[in-house]
């Protein structure tokens, strides 16, 4: 009986932690936008990954846009989350655009070698503003 209670408590704890980071996923033409917000850490990366992967497999986009503009914290699990979405995208012949990242998150992504990955583009704010014409 104690084992079942422990498993249920752990599941509830993971669900509460997952609330720290969530995503809104929207399909626009050939782009799948994942607007991620909150903290991306060990506890939140799994439900984020599962939701985005499921949407990618269902929608088969040409471009996955990871909007990290509202991400307040990211550790190595967050880096793994991003790199894993890039790997899945590559398997699906899909490109990844990373948008609106803070300087801190950009440094983490850079340390992970994100700039050397051929199907991933990190768009800096200035580039995004130029695209909009301002």
Concatenated DSSP letters of 40-94: ESHHHHHHHHHHHHHHHHHH--SEEEEEEEEEEEE-HHHHHHHHHHHHHHHHTT-
The whole-chain average pLDDT of the chain stands at 83
User: Is 133 a residue whose pLDDT tops 70?
Assistant: no
Q: In this structure, what are the phi and psi dihedrals at residue 66, rounded to the nearest 5 degrees?
A: -95, 105
Of 104-108, 111-115, 116-120, where does the model show the most confidence? Answer: 104-108
**33, containing H or E segment:** strand 31-40
Tens digit of each residue's pLDDT (9 = 90 or more) over 78-91: 999 999 999 999 99
In this predicted model, which residue has the larger pLDDT, 17 or 121? 121
At 80 the pLDDT is: 94
CATH topology of domain 2-132: Transcription Regulator spoIIAA (3.30.750)
What are the domain boundaries of the chain? Answer: 2-132
At 130 the pLDDT is: 39
CA distances to 68, 80, 96, 110, 111 from 115, in Å: 16, 15, 12, 6, 9
User: Is 134 a residue whose pLDDT tops 60?
Assistant: no
Of 27-31, 117-121, 126-130, where does the model show the most confidence? Answer: 27-31
At 124 the pLDDT is: 73
Tens digit of each residue's pLDDT (9 = 90 or more) over 9-51: 665 555 554 445 678 999 999 999 999 999 999 889 999 999 9
């Amino acid at each position: 009986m104690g084992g079942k209670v422990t498993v249920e408590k752990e599941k509830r704890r993971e669900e509460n932690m997952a609330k720290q980071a969530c995503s809104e996923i929207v399909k626009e033409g050939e782009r799948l936008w994942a607007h991620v917000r909150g903290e991306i850490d060990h506890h939140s990366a799994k439900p984020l990954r599962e939701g985005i992967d499921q949407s990618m497999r269902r929608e088969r986009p040409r471009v996955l846009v990871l909007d990290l503009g509202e991400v307040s914290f990211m550790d190595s699990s967050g880096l793994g989350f991003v790199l894993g979405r890039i790997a899945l995208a590559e398997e699906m012949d899909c490109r990844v655009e990373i948008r609106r990242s803070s300087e801190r998150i950009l440094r983490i992504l850079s340390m992970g070698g994100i700039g050397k990955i051929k199907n991933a583009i990190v768009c800096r704010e200035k580039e995004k503003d130029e695209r909009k014409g301002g």
